[in-house]
């Protein structure tokens, strides 16, 4: 019964955040448009040299996805903090970690999953073949949830802080570097004729660690920020 209750609470938090976000579609579309613009500017600026585009594609697409995912991090808890909902969540009889996990999942569905879905179309601009595009999607599917999980910790730590956006970037960008290295490295390895399984396995390990520790760390950070 307890497990069913936790799943129901998790689903309710996700539905609530998705409903609120979809009422303000401009905020959701900003992340997607930013990713599209960043990824599209490089082929236009560099030119049509296919070999060069294929070589730089993994890094550019992953950096673009990382920066796009960061755009909405500051808003993950901000609205609930301003209207007092966050304090009610802390005082709720439901585990705060479950509520936080629901908000992180909703953030990924709004800011991470659209990037994964549109990445293959953007990869065509860099002349990536079908196999490389599949590796790109797999790496983003494993890596973007890590970005949301790690970003939630930074968003909680900088909650209510003046100039929190800059501080948030300084806190989480160094933590994003391993995800960027392994994510882009998976596509680069495949393009070089090597196996990408090692990079994907490391991304999966990072996802497992982040999924285990990030909700707990975010919960602790929220309690500190609300004191």
Structure tokens at 170: 């300084």
Which of 47-56, 96-105, 185-194 is predicted with the least confidence, judged by mean pLDDT?
47-56
Average pLDDT over residues 177-188: 94
State the pLDDT confidence band at 1, using cuts at 50, 70 and 90: very low
Which of 12-21, 81-90, 157-166, 171-180 is predicted with the least confidence, judged by mean pLDDT?
157-166
User: Could you tell me what percent of the chain has a pLDDT over 70?
Assistant: 97
pLDDT digits (tens, 9 = 90+) for 207-226: 999 999 999 999 998 888 77
State the pLDDT confidence band at 193, using cuts at 50, 70 and 90: confident
Q: What gap in Å lies between CA 25 and CA 12, rounded to an integer?
A: 20
Q: What is the pTM of this model?
A: 0.90
Contact assessment for residue 107 and residue 75, using Cβ atoms and an 8 Å cutoff: no
φ, ψ (nearest 5 deg) of residue 94 = -75, 145
DSSP assignment letter at 162: T
Average pLDDT over residues 194-206: 93
Give the contacts of 1 (CB within 8 A, at least 6 positions apart): none
Between the CA atoms of 86, 226, 72 and 199, what dihedral angle is there, to the nearest 10 degrees?
Answer: -110
pLDDT at 166 over 70: yes
Which of 8-17, 81-90, 158-167 is predicted with the least confidence, judged by mean pLDDT?
158-167
Helices (H), 84-196: 85-91, 96-107, 113-124, 130-157, 164-191
* Residue whose entry in the numeric block shows the structure tokens 């936080």: 100
Average pLDDT over residues 60-85: 87
pLDDT at 112 over 80: yes
Contact assessment for residue 168 and residue 128, using Cβ atoms and an 8 Å cutoff: no
The per-residue pLDDT for 7 is: 80
Q: What gap in Å lies between CA 105 and CA 18, rounded to an integer?
A: 10
pLDDT digits (tens, 9 = 90+) for 15-49: 988 888 888 777 778 888 999 999 988 888 887 78
């Amino acid at each position: 019964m307890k497990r069913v209750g936790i799943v129901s609470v998790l689903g309710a938090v996700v539905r609530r955040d998705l409903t609120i976000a979809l009422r303000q579609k401009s905020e959701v579309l900003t992340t997607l448009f930013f990713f599209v613009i960043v990824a599209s500017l490089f082929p236009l600026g560099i030119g049509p040299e296919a070999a060069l585009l294929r070589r730089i594609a993994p890094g550019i697409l992953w950096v673009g996805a990382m920066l796009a995912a960061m755009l909405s991090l500051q808003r993950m808890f901000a609205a609930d903090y301003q209207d007092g909902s966050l304090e009610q969540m802390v005082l709720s009889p439901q585990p705060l970690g479950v509520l936080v996990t629901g908000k992180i999942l909703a953030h990924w569905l709004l800011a991470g999953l659209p990037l994964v879905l549109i990445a293959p179309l953007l990869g065509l601009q860099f002349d990536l073949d079908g196999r490389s595009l599949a590796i790109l999607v797999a790496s983003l599917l494993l890596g973007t949830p890590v970005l949301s999980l790690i970003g939630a910790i930074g968003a909680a730590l900088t909650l209510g802080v003046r100039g929190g956006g800059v501080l948030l970037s300084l806190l989480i960008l160094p933590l994003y570097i391993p995800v960027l290295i392994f994510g882009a490295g998976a596509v680069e390895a495949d393009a070089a004729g090597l196996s990408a399984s090692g990079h994907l396995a490391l991304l999966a390990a990072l996802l497992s660690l982040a999924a285990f520790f990030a909700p707990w760390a975010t919960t602790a950070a929220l309690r500190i920020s609300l004191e």
